Amino acid sequence: MDEGRGGAVHIGGLTPEQKAGEALVKLFTFVAARTIMDALTSEKGIDENFITDMMRSPDHDMQLAAVRLLEVRTSFAQDTFQWDVLRAAAISNVQADAERVMAQYMSSIVPLDTDACGE
């Protein structure tokens, strides 16, 4: 990260980019789990211990599934996830939210008086 930009902002000791990176690992784990185990129907149980717990399972099939999850997650992050789309979406969402907040603020301090407009 360019230390000249955003270096002062920290969330729980992490930069916003590092925090997003942690969240993306969870997202990619979920995507990998959904890809491999179609029966998985919710995020419940998908946390930082999800794959570790599978690796510790006495069931050899669970261990193999965990290894496959690691492979699919890595492949998804490297080859499939569209990082440029994420960046564009994040910027667009931030701009849209800023516009919404400013519009609400402006309408609260300058109420539109339709009678004053000659209607």
Distance between CA 99 and CA 75 in Å, rounded? 37
pLDDT at position 28 is: 87
pTM: 0.54
- Give me the helices (H) in 3-111, please: 16-36, 50-55, 60-75, 83-109
3-state secondary structure of 57: coil
- Cβ-Cβ contacts under 8 Å for 99 (sequence gap 6 or more): none
Copy the structure tokens of residue 82: 């569209």
pLDDT digit string, tens, across residues 17-68: 888 888 898 888 888 887 766 544 445 566 778 889 889 999 998 899 889 8
pLDDT at position 37 is: 65
Mean pLDDT of 94-110: 92
Q: How confident is the model at residue 119 (pLDDT cuts 50, 70, 90)?
A: low
- Cβ-Cβ contacts under 8 Å for 76 (sequence gap 6 or more): 28, 31, 32, 35
Amino acid at 105: Y
3-state secondary structure of 14: strand
C-alpha to C-alpha distances, 64 to 55, 60, 74, 116, nearest whole angstrom? 8, 6, 16, 72
